[in-house]
Chains A and B, each alone.
Chain A
Amino acid sequence: MLLGLVLLPFAAAFLMPLLYKIFGTKIGWVATLVPLYIFASFLSLLPRVNAGEQIATTLAWIPLLGVDLAVRLDGLSLLFVLLISGIGLAVMIYSIFYLHHDERLGNFYTFIMLFMGAMFGVCTSTNLVCMYLFWELTSVSSFLLIGFWYEKDNPRLGAQKALLLTMGGGFCILAAILLLQSVAGSLSIDELLAAKDIIQESSLYPVIVVLLLIGAFVKSAQVPLHIWLPTAMEAPTPISCYLHSATMVKAGIYLIARMTPILGGTALWGGIITVVGLTSLTFGSLMAIRQFDMKGILAYSTISQLGLIISLFGFGTEAAIAAGLFHLLNHSAFKGSLFLMTGIVDHQAGTRDVRLLKGLAKVMPITALVACIGSFSMAGLPPFSGFLSKELFLEAASQAHTSNLAFMGDLAYLIPFVAVVASIFTFVYSVALFFKIFIGKQVTTTSPKYPKETNWGMLLPALCLVSLNIIVAIAPQVFVDNLISGAIYTVTQVHYHLHIAFWHGLTPAFIMTCIIILLGLIVYFNYDWVKNLFLSYRSKIGAESAYQTFLHGLPEVAGKFTNWHINGKLNDYMACTIGGALLFILGSMIYFNAWSNIDISDLAPVDLLEISLAFVASTAALGVCLFKRRIWSILALSVVGFCVSFYFVIMRAPDLALTQLMVETISTVLYLLVLYKLPYGMIADNPPMSNGRRTINALLGVLVGFMACTVTLLGQGCKYFDTIAWYYNENALPLAGGNNIVNVTLVDFRGFDTMGEITVLSLAAIGVFVMIKLGREHLYDRHGIQHDHQTATAFNDTGNDTVVIQTDSYFLDENDFPISPL
């Protein structure tokens, strides 16, 4: 049942193109039913999960490798799947009104379904390989959605960057998973949990942690791997809301949370996560101030807020993790609503540039309400839910020195300081986002369109999301007890009771909040000065330039290398091929000392005729290399061929001798015919090869000859197998009725081989025919060569003759040695 829910979006994605054909532009309403059903189903499972029941489905997939399609719903999974399906529902309703009817709606809903299914898979899989596959699928669907408007350059580049980075991170995770399997011997999360001590004591533990965290940080856009997120904002705004702030980027956090019970609790784990999280928190909040695009502000704000959540996982105490999970929920609520608000502004005013917008509250009051609640919640102001989780974060930061970061010593006291600085700027950009755009005496006149309030279809999802900020603030304990506490238990493995209230007394966190608001207001009133100060600083080096160098440098280096070794010279390729083969064969011969196995104790006698034949053949062969005139080379080649046929006579092979004689004769005729048509001076290279190259060629030739000689000597002395010749010798006459054993073998025992041989021959004949006959009309005026019909006919005839000759030779052989009548 659970597996069905997880896989339902995939089925829907598969059906979307068909549904688009049927429903046309109304497809959005049909698609909305999927997240609605899934959200309701998961919600109905909530009491069972909170009661401690484990809802799981396992399908064996590749049992030999320990890979199962295993899904399970526990507290942590449930928190995520509810977020994914709930926000998915809001975003899909919003998209119906946001996207124009002439957009590729079928594609859009297919991709978004694909993403939803992949995300469910990531958050419910208990088998790591299974999770990895879903993880990569989220990257793929994110790529498709960022590049949704692929006619434009920026979405394509953004999609490419996101894919390259997140897939790169995915590979790191795969490596970490394989290392985990090699250490603990399992891919199942439960079994890894049982093997926690083995893993943490293993020498591979640091490698696993670093690889896994790189993957998680890329996905959650943490510094310095964050650069894909701002450019991913080229996606349609509902997608930026859904994938790039509310759900997909939280997959990295999910992975860290999921692995905390297995890998967490060490100085390495906590140290890396805290440092990266806090850096991202500060960097993101500073960068957000610099942005002019509303989505740019929100993108850097997402980096910053995710850094906040991640650093809480780095602190590692139960209170910190509880605060992180609670902030995760709140962040989805306020950031989701702010993105939807941005989409409305963009849709209605035609721009997202903060310099062009002001005073929108007069004409768009409901949108302004959404922006107000969302940005105040993000700023951490009461009475919104963002304030509650921000307090918890500051509380945890002020106690960081007592957590498992104690190894940092006095440095741990810096953490609350960093948290305050980052929060000041978070406060500033959040407040500015609302006041600069919505408050003002005059409604903007600089935007492309005169803004007016949008329809309820877009407002309602935004209002729903933003109202969560208030509902959670009113009844935080309901959400914490039902939704968060199960997730806390999954991560920390203890039942931790998170108590939330607006007023805890005069705690350090409250004092920090006061400082943040006070200093934040001071900075805000000097907003333009601060912004210009930030804008004046521009770094030459950074992750972005490193990425660009990599992106453009890699094809360049690869191209240079390819042009160097694929130089277009066929004889260089040939030399490399032969050299490579020699290296392999001669190398293994030397390694195994093949020469010690040569057995020359049992040799046939040799007489003068054979020696003189060998002398003639080798002299003629050497002559071929040295002769300057083509005709001598060809004649020398046929001398070698005739020597071979004489050898066949001596070696008691009359059929071979006959065939070789005939073939050699025809070949010579053919060579001479072609010779007549080819340019004079064919034999020597012109311009001649360099002496060095000629020496290399000669060396290669000698080595190949040496190798061939060795192979022959090894082969003739080989005693590993008995001959199977007796079968043919005994059965040629009784079974096939032929006296000539060789011919009987060819036409009878191995008849199919001969059929193959005839096929090759026919194909060669067709090839010769085609090359001579066809496609030569254009040749009349080129190179001044005129086509000669007579030669063509001659070639054509020889081409066809080959078959006849071959067949003849068989018949001749049979006739020469009479078949005994049976």
Chain B
Amino acid sequence: MELLISILIGILFAIGTYMMLSRKLLRIIIGSAFMSHGTLLMLMTVGKLKRGAPPIVVNGVENPVYVDPIPQALILTAIVIGFATTAFALVLAYRCYQELGVDDTERMRGNFDEH
């Protein structure tokens, strides 16, 4: 399963990078969202997958084996922060468009015609 997820991570990163190299704001934001999905899966995978029960203590079970809870704790934080930055970036894009009338990073310089 780790192999499968690694390949999926590779695809997510590849497409995220490709999107981030675009000039359009929305594409850049979507690209960063892909990267963050890829990162979440990567954190999970390097902690090994499916090696025990969910990390929830159930009374009466002898010598329980849980999956590693630490990547999960990290990812929980990462999801929330990823969401916060995505929301911020989206509103920034919206406001940029309102202020400047363009959504293309190259035209935001204002002297597009000179180049």
Distance of A738 from chain B, by nearest CB (Å): 8
Question: How many residues of B are in contact with the other chain, CB < 8 A?
Answer: 88
CA distance A764 to B85 in the complex (A): 7
- B13 shortest CB reach to chain A, Å: 4
In angstroms, Cα B109 to Cα A701, docked, is 26
A768 CA to B12 CA, complexed, in Å? 27
A200–B79 CA distance with the chains assembled, in angstroms: 67
Contact (Cβ within 8 A) A651 B19: no
Q: Which of A647, A708, A715, A739 has the most CB of B within 10 A?
A: A708
Tell me the smallest distance from the CB of B61 to a CB of chain A, in Å. Answer: 11
Tell me which of A431-439, A540-548, A749-757 binds B.
A749-757
B83 (CB) vs chain A CBs: closest residue:
A663
Residues of chain A from 738 to 775 with CB closer than 8 A to chain B in the complex = 739-742, 745-746, 750, 753-754, 757, 760-761, 763-765, 767-768, 771-772
Contact call A604/B2, Cβ cutoff below 8 A: yes
Bound form: Cα–Cα A745–B76 in Å = 11
B contact residues around A656 at 8 Å (CB): 40, 44, 72, 75-76, 79
Given the interface contacts A647-B41, A678-B93, A700-B17, does A670 sit within 8 Å of B11 by beta carbon? no
Please tell me if A650 contacts chain B, counting CB pairs below 8 Å.
yes
- A58 → chain B, closest Cβ, in Å? 56
Q: Are A650 and B50 in contact (CB under 8 A)?
A: yes
Cα(A653)–Cα(B20), bound, Å? 29
| A698-729 contacts to B (CB < 8 Å) | 698, 700-702, 704-709, 711-713, 715-716, 718, 723-725, 728-729
The reply to whether A741 and B57 contact each other, CB–CB distance below 8 Å, is yes
- A666 CB to closest chain B CB (Å) equals 7
Chain A residues with Cβ below 8 Å from B85 are 764
- Chain A residue at smallest Cβ distance from B77: A757
A600 within 8 A of B: yes
Contacts of B66 in A (CB 8 A): 725, 729, 741
The docked-state distance in angstroms from the alpha carbon of A606 to that of B5 is: 10
Are A605 and B1 in contact, CB atoms less than 8 angstroms apart? yes
Report whether A741 and B88 are in contact in the complex, using a CB–CB cutoff of 8 Å: no
Chain B 9-46 interface residues, beta-carbon cutoff 8 Å to A: 9-27, 30, 33-34, 37-38, 40-42, 44-46
In the complex, the chain B residue whose C-beta lies closest to that of A570 is B105
Determine the main DSSP class of A at the interface with B.
helix
Which residues in A have their C-beta under 8 angstroms from that of B70? 723-725, 728, 745
Report yes or no: B17 in contact with A606, Cβ–Cβ below 8 A.
Answer: no
Query: Given the complex, which residues of A lie within 8 Å of B38, measured CB to CB?
Result: 708
Whether a CB of chain B sits under 8 angstroms from the CB of A178 is no
Q: Of B15, B37, B98, which contacts A622 at CB under 8 A?
A: B15
- Given A671-B90, A685-B22, A739-B56, residue A712 in contact with residue B46 (CB < 8 A): yes
Distance to closest chain A CB from B57 (angstroms):
4
Q: How far is the CA of A644 from the CA of B11 in the complex (A)?
A: 13
* CB nearest to B40 among chain A residues: A644
Interface of B: prevailing SS:
helix
B8 near A637 with CB under 8 A, answer no
On whether the beta carbons of B79 and A660 are closer than 8 Å, the reply is yes
Contacts of B48 in A (CB 8 A): 604, 716
Contacts A570-B105, A604-B51 hold; do A682 and B88 have CB atoms under 8 A apart? no
Q: Would you call B79 and A741 a contact (CB within 8 A)?
A: no
Query: What is the minimal beta-carbon distance from B15 to any residue of chain A, in angstroms?
Result: 5
Q: How far is the CA of A336 from the CA of B67 in the complex (A)?
A: 87
Q: Say yes or no: B91 contacts A795, CB within 8 Å.
A: yes
Q: Provided the pairs A614-B4, A625-B15, A802-B83 are in contact, do residues A783 and B101 lie with their beta carbons within 8 angstroms?
A: yes
Q: A701-B21, A725-B68 are in contact. Are A621 and B12 (CB under 8 A)?
A: yes
Distance in Å: Cβ of A618 to nearest Cβ of chain B: 5
Quick check: A652 and B53 within 8 Å, CB to CB? yes
Size category of the binding interface on chain A: 35 or more
Closest chain-B Cβ to A468's Cβ sits at a distance in Å of 67
Closest chain-A Cβ to B90's Cβ sits at a distance in Å of 5
A365 to chain B, nearest CB (A): 70
A712 & B19 in contact (Cβ 8 Å cutoff)? no
Per the 8 Å Cβ criterion, residues 59-82 of B in contact with A are 59, 64, 66-70, 72-73, 75-77, 79-82
Assess whether A739 is in contact with B54, with CB atoms less than 8 Å apart.
no
A779 to B46 CA separation, bound complex (whole angstroms): 49
- Check B6 against A611 for contact (C-beta < 8 Å): no
Cβ of A750 and Cβ of B73 under 8 Å apart?
yes
Q: Does A603 contact B (CB under 8 A)?
A: yes
Cβ of B34 and Cβ of A659 under 8 Å apart?
no
A637-B30, A768-B88 are contacts. A604–B56 as well, Cβ < 8 Å? no
Are the CB atoms of B80 and A701 closer together than 8 Å? no
A575, CB-defined interface residue at 8 Å: yes
A732 on interface, CB distance cutoff 8 Å? yes
Residue of B nearest to A647 (CB): B41
- State the Cβ distance, A589 to closest chain B Cβ, in Å: 14
9 of the cross-chain contacts (CB-CB < 8 Å) are A571-B106, A651-B67, A652-B52, A653-B67, A716-B48, A729-B66, A732-B57, A741-B57, A820-B59
Check A611 against B4 for contact (C-beta < 8 Å): yes
- Decide: A610 and B26 in contact? CB cutoff 8 A: no
A683 in contact (CB, < 8 A): yes
* Cross-chain contact A772 with B91 (CB below 8 angstroms): yes
Interface string of B81-115 (1 = CB under 8 A from A): 11111111011111101110101111001000001
- 8 Å CB interface, A641-658 against B: 641, 644, 647-648, 650-656
A240 part of interface (Cβ distance < 8 Å): no
Is the beta-carbon distance between B22 and A624 smaller than 8 angstroms? no
Contact across chains for A713 and B26 when beta carbons are under 8 A apart: no
